[in-house]
Structure 1
Amino acid sequence: MPTLLLSNFNLHSCYMYQQLTTLIFDLDGVITSEKKYWNTARLTVWDLITSDSYLGLKNYFDEGEDFLSKLTLVGEKVISSQFVYELKRRAVNSNWDLTFFVMSLHLLGILNGVKANYPEAWSSIFKNPLPIKEELARLRSLLQKNKYNSTINDAPIARFWEETQLLTGTDVVEYVSLFSEKMLGAKLSYLQPKADLWQLCYHNFQEWYETKGNGVLPDEDTILDLESIRLVLQDLRDRYNYTLGIATGRPRNEVLQPLSQLGLLEYFDQKRIVTYDEVLAGEAILSRSGNSQKLGKPHPFVVLKALYPDENVGVFCSQEFQSLERKYAAYIGDATSDVVAAKQAGCLSIGVLTGVFGDKMADKQQTMLKDVGCDVILNSVLELPMLLGNNP
């Protein structure tokens, strides 16, 4: 019999589950697999560091002649699963942020080597900053001219984790800029969140995901057996009459297309599918009124938008509105950002132990979810009918 973590599950909890009418799902690690996204992040960082179009540091990761054919074997050297787990534990759930984060720390290690070995060149770089593509080209020329054999340096990563033990969410990514100042004694504007380097990582990530990775990256897949997931969604909607929605950090086309191909899109209320597109649109509306608030998880915006599709974005930013109880709804996710978003939206939080980590890290993931107040933790979405199916 499947095991439920019921540390927070009591008679009061049973009553709360009986009130449920609406289930909002995160996608990656819950329904869809994250492998394609994580391998896209690995390809993006590898390309930016080794390609002659960027830094040109061949074999920086000691990957041999053909990285692309060995992606699943050597990708761990670029971005390890443990690294991703640490970011998830800190409620950083964006693959673009992951890519920017890793690229920034590798770049800082390389720049630190330049500062130590070529002080005059470093002085020029510091005093005369260039747009990021030109900056990488200048750095590539310097490294090649001096035959500087830079290889992977994990020290900046270890130091960063040590300095940020208490940070979570966007604070982790925003600390990259301050970390560069402390490490190099210089403020590099392109290391700011959403600045030049983030944008370069974002655009290259999307190129690899959408076109350049064809034949290299795996196809979109479900985290568990497709037919089993389909039957669960069908039961929840048709047999037990739950309204199903989606709240994810994926772009809209990367939700609709794969779910349609997998035959799962039909089970979700189309008005209750909230994606990164809605996050960007909401942020744009806020910015026009001088509000620079970010709406990605762990902010509850995506969950609340799925519950109130026609409501104004400004309402979702109201502490009074967020504090209302919505025990008729539950948000199902696999990361701390999902739990925090659910709690801040006044919903129940249902955690699942699926994802790339698998059984090896299930205990850590369970602890991670429990520590941020997840109401109940399941092995997977396949256990949802057992938890909810007997409720009216």
Structure 2
Amino acid sequence: MIKTILFDVDGVMLSEERYFDASALTVWEFLYSPQYVGLAGEEFTASPEEAQIRRVREQVFAHDEVLNFIKSRGINSNWDMVFLAFSYQLIRLIEVVKTQVPEATSLLVEQIDRPQLAKVKEWAATYAPDFQVDYAAFTADFAKGSAQKAEMLLYLNQIAKERCGIATEMFSRNSDLWQLIQKTFQEWYLGDERVAASIGRETMQPGKKGFLADEIPIVPPAEMVELFRTLKEKGYTLGIGTGRPTIETHVPLSEMNILEWFDPNRVVTASHVLDAEEAFPSFAPMSKPHPYCYVKGLLGLDAPISDAVHFSLPIENGEEVLIVGDSLADFLAARSIGCKFAATLTGLSGQDARSKFEEEKADFILDDVRDILSIL
């Protein structure tokens, strides 16, 4: 009998749309902002209007074909999505530049931060002024391999070898470039007023309003409040395992009066995952589909990180735990834990995801989170 229910947030309670918007804008900034690669052909602004955001999103993710592909390979982190999308275009650019600057390939062996991107900007302006970004090519190149989950990030090293003839291990979640991308994404999502509390510094390009105050609930907040109140009154222990950082979880869910129905000791976010990766770097990456955030939710935030990292899986009482999520990454995490899984058809693919979850034999498939009462 189910006793504990752990919920994902994006695609279950809140729409992922604004996260994908922020992801696309981050890729766009790295490619076209003068502070980064500064390619010609696009005029960058830190304060785009809604119509421009829609255009950038459609271009960067090729009408969401790239997004769907990345998620189908088990990637759930927006930070990883941005790292993949930008790094791929960076490799393509170096491939063009190296015909004039052979030593440019050595940059792909080093750690890449702002000084290295400044070099790329100079090379691009001088030797590849007509370079054309090809967002859709990402899917075709990655489809040649079978990389899944965290291996997707490492597969960039293979693409660098094929395109630039250079052996490298630079592309990984532990790289300086990944860290820079993560902080820049936070600038877009949190905006100028809130970003310092998250990343420890002000935004590098002022003018970003942030999306945190513009969240889109999947079902009316009042109905979610009633659902979680009912579940709590029935005696279920409620927790959260999300790829959102803590501030991006607490602020919108608190404003919608949803957070109060969850056990605060079991609200696990990407911030807690980053803490675990810092403490146990050899286990990184530990974002979904790694089961860490859900295991930590079972044990509680007051349990030592090491207990969750080394917890024996699958758990013995798997029939007592239910994970509710919208993605393959959530499903894979649940299977690692050995617990029940309920898929909600309110993620990026909507109802089209039903066949995939049927194929994977998810325990339950729900039109939206409100249907959970029908399976308990």
Same fold (TM over 0.5): yes
Shift of 1:188: 4.9
Is 1:251 the counterpart of 2:245? The answer is: yes
**Distance in 2 of aligned mates of 1:23 and 1:130:** 41
- Aligned partner of 1:305 in structure 2 is 296
Counterpart of 2:190, as a letter, is: E
Secondary structure of the equivalent of 1:177? helix
Is 1:41 the counterpart of 2:36? The answer is: no
Secondary structure of the equivalent of 1:191? coil
Is 1:213 the counterpart of 2:208? The answer is: yes
**Distance in 2 of aligned mates of 1:75 and 1:49:** 14
State the number of aligned residues. 356
**Distance in 2 of aligned mates of 1:284 and 1:88:** 25
- Structure-to-structure mapping, 1:201-350, within 5 angstroms: 201-211=181-191, 212-214=207-209, 219-238=214-233, 240-287=234-281, 291-309=282-300, 310-318=302-310, 320-350=312-342
Alpha carbon RMSD of aligned pairs, Å?
2.6
Is 1:151 the counterpart of 2:142? The answer is: no
Equivalent in 165, 173, 181 of residue 153 of structure 2: 173
**Distance in 2 of aligned mates of 1:248 and 1:216:** 17
Is 1:126 the counterpart of 2:120? The answer is: no
Q: Is the 8 A contact 2:173 2:285 kept in 1?
A: no
Where does structure 2 lack aligned partners over 5 or more consecutive residues?
192-206
Secondary structure of the equivalent of 1:120? coil
Q: Deviations over 1:68-97 (max 9, x none)?
A: 442123421012422212221111000000
Counterpart of 1:330, as a letter, is: L
TM-score w.r.t. structure 1 length? 0.83
Q: Is the 8 A contact 2:190 2:211 kept in 1?
A: no
216 and 21 in structure 1: CA distance in 2 versus 1, 3 angstrom threshold: closer
Shift of 1:158: 3.5
- Aligned partner of 1:56 in structure 2 is 38
Q: Is the 8 A contact 2:243 2:269 kept in 1?
A: yes
Structure with bigger RCO (C-alpha 8 Å, 6+ apart)? 1
Counterpart of 1:21, as a letter, is: K
Shift of 1:180: 1.0
TM-score w.r.t. structure 2 length? 0.86
Percent identity over the alignment is: 28
**Distance in 2 of aligned mates of 1:377 and 1:224:** 17
Shift of 1:127: 4.0
Query: Could you say which structure has the larger radius of gyration?
Result: 1
- Aligned partner of 1:15 in structure 2 is none
257 and 127 in structure 1: CA distance in 2 versus 1, 3 angstrom threshold: closer
Q: Deviations over 1:286-308 (max 9, x none)?
A: 34xxx434322112221121111
Q: Is the 8 A contact 1:336 1:372 kept in 2?
A: no
**Distance in 1 of aligned mates of 2:357 and 2:187:** 33
Moved more, 218-227 or 323-332: 218-227
Shift of 1:31: 0.5
274 and 215 in structure 1: CA distance in 2 versus 1, 3 angstrom threshold: closer
147 and 111 in structure 1: CA distance in 2 versus 1, 3 angstrom threshold: closer
Where does structure 1 lack aligned partners over 5 or more consecutive residues?
1-18
Shift of 1:209: 1.4
**Distance in 2 of aligned mates of 1:349 and 1:29:** 15
Shift of 1:253: 1.4
Q: Is the 8 A contact 2:27 2:86 kept in 1?
A: yes
107 and 301 in structure 1: CA distance in 2 versus 1, 3 angstrom threshold: same
